[in-house]
Structure 1
Amino acid sequence: MKKQLVIGAVIASLAGLGGTAATQAFDFGSILKVGGVTVLVNQYGDQINTFLNNLLMKNGVGTDYATKVVPVLSVGTGKYIGAVQVVGPTEQVEKVKAVGQLEGGFNNIARAKALIPLATTDVTNLSRVQGVGVSAIIDLKF
């Protein structure tokens, strides 16, 4: 139902833009991805989390710590760009609302992506949750 609402809102927005130039400037894929990440994590996060826990346990690398699936936000833009599973003590994992992703390069020999568990979805006011790490990166298909 939520996915249908997101798609309906996108179509309504496109219809309201009118004209070829405005439609070309509109990033339809980006809007679907942002809305899609939110919808998929809200709707399927618990099921994805259970699937990952079972997969890890089956392969002998499970954990006794708490886990949860949350969206990934680009720290530079605040856009929803994916999902991850976080792991840690229950009290700390419950605080995590999203994971922030910072990207950078090192002397043209390496690229890095730092994944920071956050207590907020507001990337302008970062608040790291200590004692929590990322245990899995989830590739969402749209």
Structure 2
Amino acid sequence: MKKLGLRKISFVMAAVLALAAIGAPQLDKLLKLGGVVAIVNAMGKQMNEGINKLWGRQDTWEVKTKVVPILSVGINSSTAVGAAQVMGPPHQVDKVVAVAQPEAQLLGRELRMKALIPVSSKDVLKDIRAVEHVGVSGIVDIKL
């Protein structure tokens, strides 16, 4: 019994030390990423209903909507920046777990482009797998 308690304490201490080693800027990013994802997981259904009310529409057997996190894709990093409502055939919408938002600049910093791509993987750094026939129909700004 005492060994189990000691293991738990050791695990917690190791986690605290690891978080301290990450540093404040990275910890802030991790907390925001986790916070946005947690908010979308907890309130996604209500957000979806709210956007549908703005549009004056309801899901049908042909078209379904849902709210997922937006993951901004930069060089070697991703950050949850808000939420998006996606819309399309139900069997395709069910595959969407996030919206990737890759960014690029042209002409120095004169033009900045962003794409919103419904994807089937949250690991948007390694692989952006677009879900066909699904588009973004709404944006939710989340201030943390």
> Aligning the two structures, in what range does the TM-score lie when normalised by the shorter sequence?
0.7 to 0.9
Q: Secondary structure of the residue that 2:78 maps to in structure 1? A: coil
Give CA deviations for 1:96-131 in whole Å, capped at 9, x if unaligned: 011111111232442111011101111112211011
Residue of structure 2 in register with 1:135 after alignment: 137
Tell me by how many angstroms 1:63 deviates.
6.3
Give the whole-Å Cα distance in 1 for the aligned partners of 2:73 and 2:139: 17
Aligned to 1:34: 33
Q: Taking structure 1 as reference, are residues 136 and 97 closer, same or farther at Cα in structure 2, changes over 3 Å only? A: same
Q: CA RMSD in A?
A: 2.4
What 5-or-longer segments of structure 1 have no aligned partner?
1-8
Identity of aligned residues (%): 45
AA partner of residue 46 (structure 1) = K
Structure 2, unaligned stretches of length 5 or more?
A: 1-11
Structure 2 distance, partners of 1:13, 1:141, is: 26
Aligned residue pairs total 123
**CA-to-aligned-CA distance 1:122-141 (integer Å, 9 cap, x gap):** 11122110111111111112
Counterparts of 1:74 and 1:94, CA distance in 2: 21
Secondary structure at the aligned position of 1:125 is classed as coil
Which secondary structure does the structure 1 equivalent of 2:122 belong to? Answer: coil
Aligned ranges for residues 1-142 of structure 1 at < 5 Å?
13=16, 17=20, 25-27=23-25, 28-57=27-56, 62=57, 65-76=63-74, 77-107=77-107, 108-123=109-124, 124-142=126-144
For 1:36 and 1:113, how far apart are their aligned partners in 2? Answer: 23
Give the structure with higher Rg (CA).
2
TM-score normalised to structure 1 length: 0.74
With the length of structure 2 as denominator, give the TM-score of the two structures.
0.73
